[in-house]
Structure 1
Amino acid sequence: MEHAILGLRTTIYQVADITLAKSWYAAAFGTQPYFDEPFYVGFNIGGYELGLQPERTAPENKAESGVAYWGVEDLRGAYLHFIKSGAVAFEEPTDVGGGIAVAKVKDPWDNIIGLIYNPHFVVGK
């Protein structure tokens, strides 16, 4: 296919305080940013880009739209780690069939972070 889609590369979260968010995401994801500027902070999470951008104006309530799900080996453990890091429970770990389970949390800026355990998914295939 001439214009093949290669897969997810970047997920960007809008945050009101990029300095505070940088510290929070570094602790929650267990890694430091590889790119750090006032207009964008980028993290490499398992070969995928997690980006933070400053919000121009913070909305009263962020609407749920597309949700990026970050793969984990231990869904319950990852979910509890994010809660202990200051995230708020949004959807508790749920078995969705076929051995796949998902959960969602909200970061301190009301962004939804999806977590997924999927034993059938192999990166790059």
Structure 2
Amino acid sequence: MAVQNISAVMVHVANVAAGLDWYERAFPGARRVRITDPAFECLAVGAIRIEVVPSDNKVTSGAAGSVVYWGVTDFDLALTHFLKLGARLYRGPMDIESGYSMCQIQDPWGNCIGLRGPNKGGASTRETAAV
């Protein structure tokens, strides 16, 4: 068995239509993908699909377990973009290796999204930090 790249990120939300709309705005360049059998709609960001599905008793919305980190070209610009869309800072930001920073934000349903990339503005441009 050979493990390949991440192919999809499944996001559980209470309202799928609202979730698709929010993630489409959050990831500029994302394109909607419609699958007919079974009927399903998701977003493609490059080769990765964001599959927004209903939360239920087995898998609820919210922060728990694994977090996928998205590579960004400008950390502070990306963080500002998500915060303007209503995401909340959950952990960080923190400076890591080679001038890069990382943090976790939460979508409107409480799911965590990781951001990781070069900090072009420097740590002094950040006004808010979460633990």
TM-score, normalization by structure 1: 0.79
Cα distance, 1:23 vs. partner?
1.0
**In structure 1, distance between residues paired with 2:101 and 2:34:** 32
* 2:21 pairs with 1:23: yes
- 1:9 aligns to what? 7
- 1:99 aligns to what? 99
**In structure 1, distance between residues paired with 2:64 and 2:80:** 21
Consecutive unaligned residues in structure 1, runs of 5 or more: 119-125
Cα distance, 1:81 vs. partner?
0.4
Change (3 A) 1:63 1:101: same
**In structure 1, distance between residues paired with 2:72 and 2:63:** 25
Correspondence 1:65-80 to 2 at 5 A = 65-80=65-80
TM-score, normalization by structure 2: 0.76
**In structure 2, distance between residues paired with 1:24 and 1:69:** 18
Q: How many residues are matched?
A: 115
User: Which stretch shows the higher mean deviation, 43-52 or 107-116?
Assistant: 43-52
Which amino acid in structure 2 is aligned with residue 35 of structure 1?
Answer: R
Cα distance, 1:116 vs. partner?
1.0
